[in-house]
Amino acid sequence: MATGTGNTAFVLAPYVRRVVGVDMTREMLEEARRIASEKGILNADWVIGDAQRLPFMDETFDIYVVRAAPHHFSDLDGFLAEAFRVLKPGRDAALIDCAPPLPAREVLHAIELRRDPSHILYLTVDEWVVRIERAGFEVEMAQARELDWNYEEWMANQAVPPELAAKLAMIIESTQGEARVQLHPERREGKLWHAYWHALIRAHKPSS
Ligand SMILES: C[S@@+](CC[C@H](N)C(=O)[O-])C[C@H]1O[C@@H](n2cnc3c(N)ncnc32)[C@H](O)[C@@H]1O
């Protein structure tokens, strides 16, 4: 789901009969299709669709995977309801998204809002668990993984203008209190590094 240029779909493809990559952005899927053909991946389909209103029948899929995208969705409950609906009973969904703990979340959220107009919200792992269970899933595993984050590389990959990147770096470096302890910003050879977090969640759709 929200496959972008197909990164996760390409990893899954060797293990499944067919993989369906869904995204709402046509250009992303065109690139995914191009890369799939370059890699010789023949069992992938690419479908334009909104994670919050999927163009699939109930109980279609054996596995549902979404990575690095739910923070762009305006209706998280709608997205989870759709994930639950299209998954077959007794099967699993994997959700991976950025999930900083509070209060660091507020700092990174403020940065994302200024860097990326399509950013909506990061949930913490605990907030994810509440939402996912409310959608009908049983959460089998939910953990945050802390990452050592190279700030300059992040901004360069996202083509953030250098003046804006410098202003946003100041927000991280001037953070105080518990958020600072969590983010532990530091300069290594002049380059800013800080903590970042991903949530890794496995959720089960009960059989009945
Ligand atoms: C940061 S990219 C992540 C791409 C991919 N999952 C990955 O890990 O490489 C986010 C993707 O979410 C897509 N997206 C955003 N909102 C969406 C929605 N409501 N339904 C489907 N795709 C959406 C965007 O078009 C974009 O390709």
CA of 179 to the centre of ligand 1 (A): 28
Q: Ligand 1, residue 25: give the atom nearest the CA.
A: 25
**Ligand 1 shell residues, CB under 6 Å:** 2-4, 7-8, 23-25, 28, 50-52, 67-69, 72-73
End-to-end alpha carbon distance in the chain: 24
Q: What pLDDT is recorded for position 193? A: 98
Its pTM stands at: 0.94
Q: Are 152 and 129 in contact (CB under 8 A)?
A: no
From the list 176, 208, 172, the residue with the least C-alpha distance to 192 is 172
Helix (H) or strand (E) holding 163: helix 162-173
Kindly tell me if the per-residue pLDDT of 208 is higher than 80.
no
50-204 is classed CATH 3.40.30.10: no
State which of 23, 52, 65, 96 you would mutate to test the pocket of ligand 1, scoring each by most atoms of that ligand within 8 A of its C-beta: 23
Q: Ligand 1, residue 50: give the atom nearest the CA.
A: 20
The 10s digit of each residue's pLDDT in 162-196 is: 999 999 999 999 999 999 999 999 999 999 999 99
